[in-house]
Amino acid sequence: MTDLSQCIAIEQGQAAHNIFLVTMASYDDWLKEQPERWRSLLAAQNFSAKAGQFAILPEEKADQWSVVAGVADIDALTPWCLAKLAEDLPAGTYRLSDDVKAGAAILGWCLAQHSFDRYQSTPEKKEARILLSSQWPEAEALAIEAQATALVRDLVNTPAEDMGPEALEGQAQTLAEKYGAELEVVRGDVLEQGYPLIHAVGRAASRHHAPRLIELHWGNEDHPRLAIIGKGVCFDSGGLDVKSATGMRLMKKDMGGAAHALALASLVMRNKLPVRLHMLIPAVENAIAGNSFRPGDIIKSRKGDTVEIGNTDAEGRLVLADAFTKADESEPDLMIDFATLTGAARIALGPDLPAMFCSDDKIGRNFADLSQDVHDPVWHMPLWQPYEEMLKSPIADTNNIGGAFAGSVTAALFLKRFAPTEGDWFHFDTFAWRPTPRPGQAAGGEALGLRASWHYIKARFG
Query: Catalytic one among 243, 270, 300, 458?
Result: 243
Query: Catalytic one among 95, 231, 253, 317?
Result: 317
Does 354 sit behind a cis peptide bond, omega within 30 degrees of 0 on the bond before it? no
- Rounded to an integer, what distance in angstroms lies between the CA atom of residue 105 and that of residue 138? 11
Q: For residue 119, how many other CB atoms are within 10 A of its CB? A: 10
402: left (phi over 0), alpha (psi -120 to 50) or beta: alpha
CB distance 365 to 379 below 8 Å = no
Confirm whether 458 is a catalytic residue: no
Reference 447, options 200, 155, 25, 104; nearest CA is 155
Q: What pairs with residue 336 in β-bridges?
A: 228, 426
- Provide the terminal-to-terminal Cα distance of the chain, rounded to the nearest Å: 28
Confirm whether 438 is a catalytic residue: no
- Rounded to an integer, what distance in angstroms lies between the CA atom of residue 87 and that of residue 131? 12
Query: Which positions are catalytic?
Result: 243, 317
